[in-house]
Homo-oligomer: A and B are copies of this chain.
Amino acid sequence: MRPNTGSNSVSILDDVEAIRRIDLGNMGMMISSFPALLKKAVELSRSLVLPRDYRSVKEIVVCGMGGSAIGGDLFRDLSQRKIPLSVSVIRDYDLPRHVDERSLVVAVSYSGNTEETLESFKQAYGRGSRMVAIASNGLLEKACSKLKIPFLGVPSGYTPRSALPLLFIPLLKLAEEIGFPLVGEGELDEACRLIEKYNSKLTPETPLSQNPAKQLAAGLHEKLPIIYSLGHLKSVALRYKDQINENAKMRAMCDQLPEANHNEIETWEKVDFKEILHVVFIDSRFKNPYVAESIGALVSSIEREEVGLSMVKPLGETMLEEVLSAIILGDWLSYYLAILRGVDPAPVRLINNLKKKHEERTKYLEKFEEWLAETGEDNRKT
């Protein structure tokens, strides 16, 4: 079975001109900026200063959607072993009841106008939570300015998904500000250097024969990708899925070990549609030894069924480097999949149509502005 849409042959991946003709929205430029955005994010994060009393919070709650939320997941995975506070990510309108004046609520919306995030922000304000927001613009910036809430402004002009370094790295600084440094300054600089070097191996100018992202894309061309990950890279698989969805407008699945060995593995017993499946397994040098031992069982089940399998070994000596190198590889992978499908990676027509029509009907942004007009710092229940 072939996909029911016209697809390019893999050789297009070495035709830089042809790639440019498909990439009308300039996503290639945006992904290429990943190392520069990383450096920019490190620099910008220095300006994030939080009030002293934020050090007494009981938990960190990151509110965001889509490309603005995934930085929260990566941060949570990294912080699990290092921060004595629970970190949760809320992708919805309503805050859980446990969020109160002792919670640190981080509202992340690249546009600054994401409805769900604004609503969570408003609810957090009503509960007297410690707050901070990250955005390039929009009502989130306006609200922080009026309500005197710490705000980190990041450069605009990217898609939220390509702005990931700007939305993720500040969370590391935020942890440091409340007393829990996750990475040293040197570690961040080192990671920036590694990613800059690695990126040059992944851009369209590097041919398929030497380009791991193009090679991965060639394996996944006209397939349904299944991404497995583990340990501190659990959410990296979700990033791959989301990037494949948005850039290539293509379906993908993700799952994690050790949980997949308790249910998903059964799908490798009597495999339907095996000719369209291709597995990407994102490994880590930091995995728990028992998980390491059980990877073989899943892998051999997949191999026995003769389903395609690509192993990704992220680069780097630190957990952070693994996260960032795995992500930039996946970002380029999703880009090349778009090219192979002949779809312009940058525009997300269905998401934008939905947002527009939704806003016309709910008038949420107007309601938020009205709330803001009526609200002052002194209204807070603290």
Number of copies: 2
**A198 close to B (CB within 8 Å):** no
Whether A293 lies near B3 (C-beta < 8 A) is no
**A341 close to B (CB within 8 Å):** yes
Given contacts A269-B350, A351-B262, contact A94 B81 (CB under 8 A): yes
Whether A116 lies near B258 (C-beta < 8 A) is yes
Partner of A86 from the list B86, B301, B354 (CB cut-off 8 Å) is B86
Whether A297 lies near B354 (C-beta < 8 A) is yes
- For A67-92 the 0/1 string (1 means CB < 8 A from B) is 10100000000001111111010011
Closest chain B residue to A91 by CB distance? Answer: B259
> Could you tell me the distance between the alpha carbons of A86 and B76 in the complex, rounded to whole angstroms?
15
**A285 close to B (CB within 8 Å):** no
Given contacts A81-B96, A288-B92, contact A246 B266 (CB under 8 A): yes
Closest chain B residue to A274 by CB distance? Answer: B4
Q: Which of A218-253 contact B (CB under 8 A)?
A: 222, 224, 241-242, 245-246, 249-251, 253
Of A18-26, A29-37, A310-318, A355-363, the one contacting chain B is A355-363
Q: Which of A247-300 contact B (CB under 8 A)?
A: 249-251, 253, 256, 258-259, 261-276, 288, 290-291, 293-294, 297-298
Partner of A253 from the list B4, B119, B242, B253 (CB cut-off 8 Å) is B253
Of A58-66, A169-177, A185-193, the one contacting chain B is A58-66
Whether B293 lies near A362 (C-beta < 8 A) is yes
> Could you tell me the distance between the alpha carbons of A253 and B253 in the complex, rounded to whole angstroms?
7
Whether B58 lies near A258 (C-beta < 8 A) is no
Q: Chain B nearest CB: distance from A279 CB in Å?
A: 12
Partner of A351 from the list B1, B84, B98, B265 (CB cut-off 8 Å) is B265
Whether B65 lies near A80 (C-beta < 8 A) is no
Partner of A354 from the list B261, B270, B349 (CB cut-off 8 Å) is B261
Closest chain B residue to A100 by CB distance? Answer: B84
Interface bin, chain A: 35 or more
> Could you tell me the distance between the alpha carbons of A348 and B297 in the complex, rounded to whole angstroms?
14
Whether A270 lies near B84 (C-beta < 8 A) is no
Given contacts A86-B96, A88-B86, contact A258 B80 (CB under 8 A): no
Q: Which residues of B contact A140 (CB under 8 A)?
A: none
**A11 close to B (CB within 8 Å):** no
> Could you tell me the distance between the alpha carbons of A270 and B59 in the complex, rounded to whole angstroms?
41
**A97 close to B (CB within 8 Å):** yes
Whether B250 lies near A272 (C-beta < 8 A) is yes
**A115 close to B (CB within 8 Å):** yes
Whether A265 lies near B93 (C-beta < 8 A) is no
Closest chain B residue to A270 by CB distance? Answer: B249
Partner of A245 from the list B81, B266, B273, B348 (CB cut-off 8 Å) is B266
Q: Which residues of B contact A263 (CB under 8 A)?
A: 66-67, 241-242, 245-246, 351
Closest chain B residue to A60 by CB distance? Answer: B98
Q: Which of A337-357 contact B (CB under 8 A)?
A: 341, 343, 348-351, 353-354, 357
**A5 close to B (CB within 8 Å):** yes
Q: Chain B nearest CB: distance from A111 CB in Å?
A: 12
Partner of A81 from the list B97, B291, B362 (CB cut-off 8 Å) is B97
Q: Chain B nearest CB: distance from A120 CB in Å?
A: 11
Closest chain B residue to A82 by CB distance? Answer: B97
Whether A258 lies near B98 (C-beta < 8 A) is no
What are 22 of the A-B contact pairs (CB < 8 Å)?
A: A4-B275, A65-B259, A65-B262, A66-B262, A66-B263, A67-B262, A80-B96, A81-B96, A88-B88, A91-B262, A92-B288, A94-B288, A115-B290, A224-B272, A245-B263, A263-B351, A265-B350, A266-B350, A269-B343, A270-B343, A290-B364, A293-B362
